Structure 1
Amino acid sequence: MCGIAGFISEGKYNLRDLKRMLCIQSHRGPDYTGVWNSGEIFLGHNRLSIIDITTAGNQPMVFENGRYVLAFNGEIYNYKELRAQISKRYRFKSNSDTEVLLYMLIEYGVDALSMLDGMFSIAFWDNEKEELLMVRDRFGVKPLYYHLSDDGLILASEIKAIHEVINCRLPELSTWASYYTKGLYGTENDTFWKGIKTIKAGHYLLYSKGKCVEKEWYSFHERTMELMNSNQFINRSDQEHIDFYGELLERSINRRFRADVPVGFNLSGGLDSSVLLGSIHRLFKASNDIRAFTFFCNDDRFDELKWVREMNQNTNKPLYEVMLLAKDVPQLVDKVSYYQDEPYGGIPTLAYYLVFKQARERGTKVLLDGQGMDEQWAGYDYFHNSLGHVIQGSKSDPLKSALLSQEFKVNSSVPDYPKPFDSDLLNLQYRDLFFTKLPRALKFNDRISMANSTELREPFLNFEMVEYAFSLPVHLKVRDGHAKWGLRQIGLKLFENSIALAPKRAVQTPQVEWLKGDLKDFVMASIEGLLRKKPEWFDKPNVDVEVDAFMKGKYDNSFFIWQLINTNTLF
């Protein structure tokens, strides 16, 4: 996992600008900084060395005849299998997945993308055709932003790198307004900043001679429909479905332990973490140097340490417990906002930042996480109730559009999410996978892991696992009052205790209690600061009313309070 940057420009930008971009996102890859240019095309790379940590894996990587150049952020987990597939046609000079990807793109072009099991954002230049291919992985695990103007194209792994050279940082009003009225964090293409776009998950963008075309290379709908209509899938029994998914899970975790540096994992007290821990212990039972990391807030009402310790006690995996206290929050809010570039997900994100920081300090350069199970197995409570709220576990509406002035509110828009499936449940899952829940979680987690020069891998987002669980009949997702029923059967085999039967919980932190208690002065100062900076955005009397109601305990969630704090730190 690394950072990439570059541009195509007719004299507007130069090598010095590229180095400025790479410097500002150097936390993504402090092990080596590489640059390449030819004429109007410039590409750069911040390397975090994970696979083949020798100089042979440095980027940008240039093909021996000079025609092709690759700058790539991420990991290709099946690189060993792909290397064997093409080894007779290419002479390898390294053991890196980057070189495998370079030759796959040369050999197969965009058709190579469907053969990749990994997370990636790619910039691939063809000198002969004078074409730049930019790609994002199937679920958008790795970011890729771009700015298109009459001066050319600029690309980078982080928004701040583009801002560094275009010298313009203006808010995209429609995105900010929709953040408050709908709880959205941008669309598939739009960001919170004017003029900066993101390539859609599962899409590529081809730039040639001043023209830009974006195309889909991965169709989740087509693949899942094909799977659901296949005789092999239809004829499997419930147990055969669960067993087959278990095989996919085991292969995915095995591949994601491919690294030449220490690998650990994040741990919480829920089902997904128990499946991750149990699988890792089964696959690597003899290994006692795979570290687990978890956070707590020193509050028994919320902390999951009891369950985490219970899960971990029968393994030989060392557990590191990272504490977040209320007094740490103000400083962390500013620090994490700098790395995020856009609004992010509250105090749990701050806690995860400390987890990655601790991992890096302990020498663990790669962490696995349990992201993606709820989306593919329909685990969130709002999949199965009629409240329609976007926050897990919330009983009151977390959104407060009355905070906004009428003049600002009109900039918001109502999202029209596609509904390609006949099932309401599948359409909700599809929405969360590609438009709401998963994209924002992946964005938050990429930034906080990279802020600490640590690679985050998501074994549950292997595309075949997601497609398979998503396609399963409803009774394997929800049964006997339990969501993720089929996954719980796997969990019960790995851990014969109550963890596998525990109900879904939101990430546990005392955010509400802290924001109206120990952090009240910080909250009020942040809101006052925001109202001074952006008075035209807000209806101050209504803000005062809603904030006062929150402080008096009227609401069971603090999402709108966090929105105000978060916005203040970004201006």
Structure 2
Amino acid sequence: MCGIAGIAGEVEQMEPLLNKMIKAQQHRGPDTVSFWISSFVDAQIGLAHNRLKITDLSDDSNQPFIDEETGLITLLDGNIFNYKELRNYLCHYYTFQTNSMIEVLSKAWHRWGKTMLNKINGNFVIAIYDQSARHIFIARDRIGIKPLYFSLQKGNFYFASEIKALFAAGVNRQMSSTRWAEYFVYSSHGMPYETFWDNIYQLPAGSSLLFNGFTLNICKWYELDKAIKEIEVPQDEKKFIERFQEITNDSIRNNIAADVPIGMNLSGSINSALLLGLIHKNAPYLPIKAFSYYNENKLSNEILWTTEMLSHTHYKHEQIKITSKIIRKEAYFIAKIQDEPFDELNTLAYTHLFRIAKNRGTTVLCDGTGLDETWGSYPIIKTNPYYGNKTPLCLKDEFIKLAKTPEYPKPFQNKIDNTKYKDLFYEKIPHILRLNDRISMAFSTELRKPFLDHRLIELFFITPEKIKIKPSTNKWIVHHNAKGLMPTSTRLIPKELINDTHQNRWFTNELKDWIDETVYNLRTGTVSHWVKGESLEKEWQRYKNGASYDPCRILKWINLHMILNQQTI
């Protein structure tokens, strides 16, 4: 929805630095750009904001929001879905100057302090500077849908919505050898606080930080395993279904609320069927447009099922063809906007979908992310870690030794819940959210994820296993509700991505020269001390000759090559 940035400390030329940060993430909010600067302890503080107008298009919502009544300066990236309810309560204690969401946050913080976070429902990063206490407080939403990065350098505190804005302010740009080693060896994108850059961190989901000019304190304000202890457990299947429907309908209404054109990303899967059914139920006449992508031949893709799924609605459907030429073009674009690696060609296809959606005038898109990671998952074949695989290694031993085996907390008593918890807060979802945020924001478009509502996730973890899991049907609760919302004639197919067959053919034909260039540059370039050049060349030759090989490995090499082209180590 927006981009936020700030600096606190002894820096020269604060205003030019803030301008550089704003410009670096201008795509996050091209509608309005502004900043605020003041003294801070014995130094300075500067706050900046890029606004993408989605809800309340008036200038009253411009930021940084300066609240004369409370003495607070507030920034927001995201949405507070229940801000009107909070305002109705707070108006008994404060005089509101606007109808804006941001002023509600300012008053709420003044009234409740940090406990405000437990009262708000939304996807957000909030930054609040208290002029009397002279400290800055930043908090990230429960699931981590909105991003926040920060760095401490020479005693100065920098923060922004994207890493590139930190670089623009002069933060050191040094790739992390350890993080890259763990990426190649274990396919790990790191712990929730880590990035692929030395001394640059992300604020984990459900966490907050406080900086007073001398110390930086970070703590968790939301912990799923503790939060669910306060929730009533559904005792039978009927109550469970009712609660699931209540939450999903409310979340859909929250996420389609906007003062700009809305769209949705659809496949032929059950997740998309539920998303479409709920949107059509809650907004049957809203002029929503659906977008889907397919690979080459429509007859071999799920696009035909998506079209059938939409046939009972008036929603327009744009079908976007993905080719190897598009993949290569978007890969270079992704390397520029992501700041960190991606893993699948589907990321590139998704990028092209957003490019088309923006060209069609769509500013907000919804998708079905989150259902797999909670209520079920598609069959996934886990590949062995890079280290120890029978395929010849292309990494030097010294580089491999940098990689530490990832370890994850296990707050629950059963393996299924602990695996879901890991996917939601450590592996799949944090990675997906980072990728999707950069892709959507690159085109000044907000991507909303109604099925990552924290209430829905909490429902999964409190529901007895005998109710939420049925061996005969994967994601039975999703199927149950989708069927009630779609015509009985609607057919669905398993989720289809750009599969290995497409990748293998593209890599060894249309994109072969690209991979040749990648291999050569990695053998001879600035990371040659990471790579066994001859082994890498032999592996690539075996792949071109038809040997069985995981295409994701090729993508890892491409990632490294492209990111190197964006900077100098």
For normalisation by structure 2, the TM-score amounts to: 0.93
Counterpart of 1:262 in structure 2 is 261
Amino acid in the other structure paired with 1:36: W
Deviation at 1:320, TM superposition (A): 1.3
| 1:558 lines up with 2:558 in the alignment | no
* Distance in 2, Cα, partners of 1:379 & 1:224: 22
Amino acid in the other structure paired with 2:262: V
| Contact residue 402 and residue 542 of structure 1 kept, 8 A | yes
Counterpart of 2:567 in structure 1 is none
Please state whether the residue corresponding to 2:362 is helix, strand or coil: coil
| Contact residue 153 and residue 171 of structure 2 kept, 8 A | no
Q: Which piece of structure 1 moves more, 150-159 or 7-16?
A: 7-16
| Contact residue 400 and residue 560 of structure 1 kept, 8 A | no
Counterpart of 2:413 in structure 1 is 422
Counterpart of 1:16 in structure 2 is 16
Question: Closer, same or farther in 2 for the Cα pair 1:133/1:428, shift >3 Å?
Answer: same
Q: 1:514 aligns with which of 506, 509, 519?
A: 506
* Distance in 2, Cα, partners of 1:82 & 1:154: 31
Question: Closer, same or farther in 2 for the Cα pair 1:239/1:549, shift >3 Å?
Answer: farther
| Contact residue 245 and residue 469 of structure 1 kept, 8 A | no
- 1:454-533 equivalences under 5 Å are 454-497=445-488, 502-506=493-497, 510-533=502-525
Q: 2:563 aligns with which of 557, 566, 570?
A: 570
- 1:334-353 equivalences under 5 Å are 334-353=332-351
Deviation at 1:446, TM superposition (A): 0.1
Please state whether the residue corresponding to 2:259 is helix, strand or coil: coil
Please state whether the residue corresponding to 1:280 is helix, strand or coil: helix
- 1:18-33 equivalences under 5 Å are 18-33=18-33
Question: Closer, same or farther in 2 for the Cα pair 1:558/1:260, shift >3 Å?
Answer: same
Please state whether the residue corresponding to 2:529 is helix, strand or coil: helix
| Contact residue 178 and residue 411 of structure 1 kept, 8 A | yes
Amino acid in the other structure paired with 2:2: C
| Contact residue 32 and residue 62 of structure 2 kept, 8 A | yes
What RMSD over aligned residues (CA atoms) do the two structures have, in Å? 2.2
* Distance in 2, Cα, partners of 1:152 & 1:370: 40
Any gaps of 5 or more consecutive residues in structure 2? 565-569
Deviation at 1:299, TM superposition (A): 3.1
Q: Which piece of structure 1 moves more, 539-548 or 444-453?
A: 539-548
| Contact residue 70 and residue 124 of structure 1 kept, 8 A | yes
Any gaps of 5 or more consecutive residues in structure 1? 392-396
Counterpart of 2:318 in structure 1 is 320
Please state whether the residue corresponding to 2:484 is helix, strand or coil: helix
Question: Closer, same or farther in 2 for the Cα pair 1:264/1:142, shift >3 Å?
Answer: same
Question: Closer, same or farther in 2 for the Cα pair 1:346/1:371, shift >3 Å?
Answer: same
Counterpart of 1:82 in structure 2 is 86
Q: Which piece of structure 1 moves more, 76-85 or 108-117?
A: 76-85
Q: Which piece of structure 1 moves more, 151-160 or 89-98?
A: 89-98
Please state whether the residue corresponding to 1:123 is helix, strand or coil: strand
Question: Closer, same or farther in 2 for the Cα pair 1:390/1:477, shift >3 Å?
Answer: farther
| Contact residue 9 and residue 213 of structure 2 kept, 8 A | no
Please state whether the residue corresponding to 1:479 is helix, strand or coil: coil
* Distance in 2, Cα, partners of 1:123 & 1:267: 34
* Distance in 2, Cα, partners of 1:522 & 1:475: 51
Please state whether the residue corresponding to 1:245 is helix, strand or coil: helix
Q: Deviations over 1:128-167 (max 9, x none)?
A: 1111101111111111000112331000111011112225
Counterpart of 1:371 in structure 2 is 369
* Distance in 2, Cα, partners of 1:401 & 1:62: 59
Deviation at 1:334, TM superposition (A): 1.0
* Distance in 1, Cα, partners of 2:195 & 2:150: 10
Counterpart of 1:186 in structure 2 is 190
Deviation at 1:458, TM superposition (A): 0.8
- 1:371-390 equivalences under 5 Å are 371-382=369-380, 388-389=382-383
Q: Which piece of structure 1 moves more, 79-88 or 121-130?
A: 79-88
* Distance in 1, Cα, partners of 2:429 & 2:114: 25
| 1:166 lines up with 2:170 in the alignment | yes
Number of aligned positions between the proteins? 556
Please state whether the residue corresponding to 2:327 is helix, strand or coil: helix
Q: 2:211 aligns with which of 204, 207, 213?
A: 207
